[in-house]
Amino acid sequence: MRIDPDDLAVVMEKDPAIVDEEDARRFHTGLQAVSMYRESHELWLQGRKMEAREINFKAHQLTGCDIHPGATIGKRFFIDHATGVVIGETAIIGDNVSLYQGVTLGGVSTNKGKRHPTIGNHVVVGCNASVLGDITIGNNVRIGAGSVVLKDVPDDCTVVGVPGRIVRRAGLKTSECDLMHNQLPDPEKDRMASMEAEISVLRAQVAALEKLIKDRDSDEF
């Protein structure tokens, strides 16, 4: 199995659990899945589709990751944990993209044409997120864990939720900080905090009214 030096380098940079290059080559399932995909993709482009599918099938058995040999994937592609990752035939992925376990880049139709997502450069897709259909995800986009993205996303955005919604534009770029999921905005938490603040204000107003009524009743007696 040939391993692209750029793919190996990005694993060494982004996975602190890796001991050394030998460890990465032998045991990093993400690197193995990507390397086997690249071999199968070469065969696919040569028209040797059954051979390509055989490698794809073996990669799925070995790593739990299913990357169709027809997909187009750029340089320095990083899969942190290969288990459950699915990338469809017409998906296009740019350079410096990172995926976590359980990510699906899938289709929503049965037509033979372009039916899978196009992913830009410097994109991070969190674990168990799904990006579905012939949509375009721009450069420097972060997609939160568990999100379901069904529409185009412009450059420099953060998307979370089901369905996915943009919660930050032109924010922290993934090329600068692409693994810090703790920095993703939490709109539900923000909404709850806002509601709690409003409730506190209402409670104070009710307490003031109750005191006013009590004082008035005392004056009448």
Residues 31-56 have pLDDT tens digits of 999 999 999 999 999 999 999 999 99
pLDDT of amino acid 176: 46
Phi, psi angle pair for 137, to nearest 5°: -105, 125
What secondary structure letter does DSSP report for 153? B
Continuous H helices in the chain: 5-14, 21-27, 29-45, 49-63, 187-220
pLDDT of amino acid 183: 60
Q: What is the pTM of this model?
A: 0.76
**Which residue in this structure is represented by tokens 């897709």?**
125
**CA contacts within 13 A on the Cβ side of 7:** 22
pLDDT of amino acid 178: 54
Residue 173 has pLDDT above 50, yes or no: no
Residues 112, 59, 7: CA angle, nearest 5 degrees:
95
Residue 166 has pLDDT above 60, yes or no: yes
**Which residue in this structure is represented by tokens 């929503």?**
108
Are 133 and 190 members of one domain? Answer: no
Residue 179 has pLDDT above 70, yes or no: no
* Banded model confidence at residue 210, pLDDT cuts 50, 70, 90: confident
Are 213 and 112 members of one domain? Answer: no
Are 144 and 204 members of one domain? Answer: no
Instruction: Specify the number of domains making up the chain.
Output: 2
Are 105 and 196 members of one domain? Answer: no
Q: Which residues contact 162 (CB under 8 A, 6 or more apart)?
A: 146, 147, 148
**Which residue in this structure is represented by tokens 């890796």?**
18
Are 174 and 140 members of one domain? Answer: yes
Are 86 and 162 members of one domain? Answer: yes
**For position 90, which CATH number holds?**
2.160.10.10
Are 53 and 85 members of one domain? Answer: yes
What secondary structure letter does DSSP report for 44? H
pLDDT of amino acid 188: 64
Are 221 and 161 members of one domain? Answer: no
Distance, CA of 72 to CA of 90 (rounded, Å): 7
60-115 pLDDT, tens digit per residue, is: 999 999 999 999 999 999 999 899 999 999 999 999 999 999 999 999 888 889 99
Are 172 and 192 members of one domain? Answer: no
* Banded model confidence at residue 1, pLDDT cuts 50, 70, 90: confident
Share above pLDDT 70 across residues of the chain, in percent, rounded to a whole number? 89
Are 15 and 82 members of one domain? Answer: yes
Are 129 and 91 members of one domain? Answer: yes
183-203 pLDDT, tens digit per residue, is: 666 666 666 777 888 888 888
pLDDT of amino acid 164: 87
Residue 216 has pLDDT above 90, yes or no: no
User: N- to C-terminal Cα distance for the chain?
Assistant: 94
Are 129 and 204 members of one domain? Answer: no
* Banded model confidence at residue 174, pLDDT cuts 50, 70, 90: very low
| Residue 87: domain span | 5-180
